[in-house]
Amino acid sequence: MSLTNKQYRLAARPVGVPKDSDWEFTTEPVPEIGAGDVLVKNHYASLDPAMRGWMNEGRSYIPPVKIGAVMRAGTVGEVIASNSPDIKVGEFVSGMLGIQQYGKAAAKELTKVDPNLAPIENYLGGLGMPGLTAYFGLLDVGAVKEGDTVLVSGAAGAVGSIVGQIAKIKGARAVGIAGGAEKCAYVVDELGFDACLDYKSDSFKQDLKEPLKTGVDVYFDNVGGEILDIALARINRHARIVICGAISQYNNTTPMRGPQNYINLLVHHARMEGFVVFDYVTRYGEGVQDLATWYREGKLKLRNQIETGIGNFPSVLLKLFKGENTGKLLLKVVED
């Protein structure tokens, strides 16, 4: 084979917003595969807020990406060579093969996906990690129940858009927070949330009074910062605050802002609990099954925002932090 493999490698640990010089764009031969390995031609890479955390040094739920390594990312693609009896050439798989056009992995590190059930890019979105994050975060950590008011930030994003839809499926009220009128219209009109509040609007703090007049039972937080405090100010007794992310704080060069209103946890006997989707790895099957069923039944609507060209990776990643995505942000890395 004379194929070449374009890749993005981490060149430096970013301070604040990642700069072009934090990346190295490399080209190398497609790798040889060993016994039990599978070679995958990646079609799409998943761009996720969590990637910003993986670029930092220090103790976290997974090790940081090493300087010089291909940037970690979820991927979906087609098997083009296999030394494993479990996965055949021509099958489609998802995995964590990183920002590159070809990747290899042991068969057991890959998950087969069914292109007949859904377009393969959905296995990086609503039928993949973001969907599972919404699923376990809302149902297990948030313990949502019928009649609850669920507030979710990042409501037009990959995770938030699914949180609200699952809330509705479970008989709860869903109130979203998103940036801009267009995203809010999408959240209400297309996804069926009961309301959506535009945090960029001057009347934001006024606007949330009516939809939250009976308080918040579950707040699913993707953003942190001031919005977390606004939510904490309106919690009900025994409320659950689900800490899924804090995208407003990831590029800070000053210390993270802590929630001043945390003392409301005491006043209302409420709890704040964090998680990452990897905590639920043994239960992914259960989650995918429910998500796929709701998708087939038309109860779960999925939208992907597909950007094209591996060479655009550094700028496309920043769309997440500028709020320039609606639905799941993906990078198409396969060349037509």
CA 336, CA 309: separation in Å to the nearest integer? 10
List the one residue from 162, 272, 316, 317 that touches a second copy (CB under 8 A): 272
158 touches a second copy (CB under 8 A)? no
CB closer to a second copy out of 6 and 234: 234
Question: Do strands 111-113 and 173-178 pair parallel, antiparallel, or not at all (unpaired)?
Answer: unpaired
CB closer to a second copy out of 87 and 132: 132
271 touches a second copy (CB under 8 A)? yes
Q: How far is the CB of 323 from a second copy (least distance, A)?
A: 20
CB closer to a second copy out of 180 and 274: 274
CB closer to a second copy out of 204 and 262: 262
The footprint of a second copy on residues 194-233 (CB under 8 A) is 224, 229
Residue span binding a second copy (CB under 8 A) among the ranges 162-170, 271-279, 288-296, 301-309: 271-279
CB closer to a second copy out of 44 and 280: 280
Judge whether 148 and 300 are in contact, CB under 8 Å. no
288 touches a second copy (CB under 8 A)? no
List the one residue from 108, 200, 269, 296 that touches a second copy (CB under 8 A): 269
- Residue 266, Cα to own-chain centre: how many angstroms? 30
CB closer to a second copy out of 249 and 308: 249
User: If we measure between CA atoms, which residue out of 123, 154, 96, 177 comes closest to residue 325?
Assistant: 154
CB closer to a second copy out of 117 and 256: 256
Residue span binding a second copy (CB under 8 A) among the ranges 71-79, 159-167, 268-276, 288-296: 268-276
For the chain, report the end-to-end CA distance as a whole number of angstroms: 18
**Amino acid occupying residue 126:** G
CB closer to a second copy out of 94 and 222: 222
The footprint of a second copy on residues 238-267 (CB under 8 A) is 243-246, 249, 255-267
Binding mask 56-75 for a second copy (x = CB under 8 A): ---xxx--------------
- The residue ranges that bind a second copy (CB under 8 A) are 59-61, 224, 229, 243-246, 249, 255-276, 279
